[in-house]
Amino acid sequence: MVTVGVDVPTSQIEVGVAGASASDRDALAEVLAPDVRVVAADPLRSVSLPSICDGISVCPLRAGLDVSNLGYEECTSNDFFHDTGSGIIWTSTSGHCFSSSWPNWYEGRTTAHFIGGNVVWSFHGGMYVDAGLIYQSSTMPKNLVYVSSGQKGRAMNGYLTNSQQTSGAVACAAGITSGYRCNYVNGTNLTVSTTVGTWYHAWRAGFGSGSGDSGGPVFYGSRDMGMVDATSGGNTYYSTIDWIDSEFGVYPCVTSSC
């Protein structure tokens, strides 16, 4: 499987090759260099993503795992976010997963692994993001994404701004239902109708999502892009990092200590 995109920060064409050996990628790179960079591709397909860590009861908290308030919603965890005002570090998931009647969050589907309580969330008519923040006290690294059983902790070291998430850029996501999947961004700054009214500034990528995937991380390589929030017609709509920051004054953790 081959993908072609543009690495916006460097304005360089990027060819991704899935399943090829390092030596094969190096050989292709010699032919295409210096104008094109060859990388190991995120394949344009879905793979199984279990909600637990293969024999371990629950993974240490990170993006891409099963989180629940045990009554209202079961969703997928997103990044840890750093509050630029208070310095507090929160974790996160989709705003429509929150309920004041079910204020406590747990990893998995029992009360054995408590995360924390609701902080604040956005899910209303006229919203700019469908996202929310959760108290947490984890001492584990703060910049990891559970991508698959073979990659339980991909480290994020940056994020893409709105201007870097252009149509044709590659986006990937992880979720407890649909697993790990990738495709291209095919809509930006969209106005979307939801069950509670209008959502402004939504982004769209060409892969589907299912019930439980809400809140899951959207990323490319080692850079955060946003949060899965809705699906329609084989596409996924997501809130971008920039708009989450605009709403809550937070940035994703891109180092282990944040």
Give, rounded to a whole angstrom, the gap between the first and last alpha carbons of the chain.
35
Q: Looking at the structure, do residues 77 and 204 belong to the same domain, yes or no?
A: yes
Q: Which CATH number belongs to the domain containing residue 258 in this structure?
A: 2.40.10.10
Pairing relation of β-strands 12-17 and 114-122? Answer: unpaired
Q: Are residues 79 and 125 in the same domain?
A: yes
Q: Do 175 and 215 sit in the same domain of this protein?
A: yes
Co-location of 25 and 105 in the same domain? no
Per-residue pLDDT of the chain (258 residues; tens, 9 = 90+): 444 444 433 444 555 554 555 566 556 555 555 555 544 444 333 333 344 454 444 578 899 999 999 877 889 999 999 998 899 999 999 999 999 999 999 988 888 889 999 999 999 999 999 999 999 988 888 999 999 877 888 999 999 999 999 999 999 999 999 999 999 999 999 999 888 889 999 999 999 999 899 999 999 999 999 999 999 999 999 999 999 999 999 999 999 999
- Give CA–CA dist 224/201, Å, rounded: 17
For residue 118, give its domain range.
49-258
Question: How many C-beta neighbours within 10 Å does residue 57 have?
Answer: 11
The conformational region for residue 233 under phi > 0 = left, psi -120 to 50 = alpha, else beta, is left
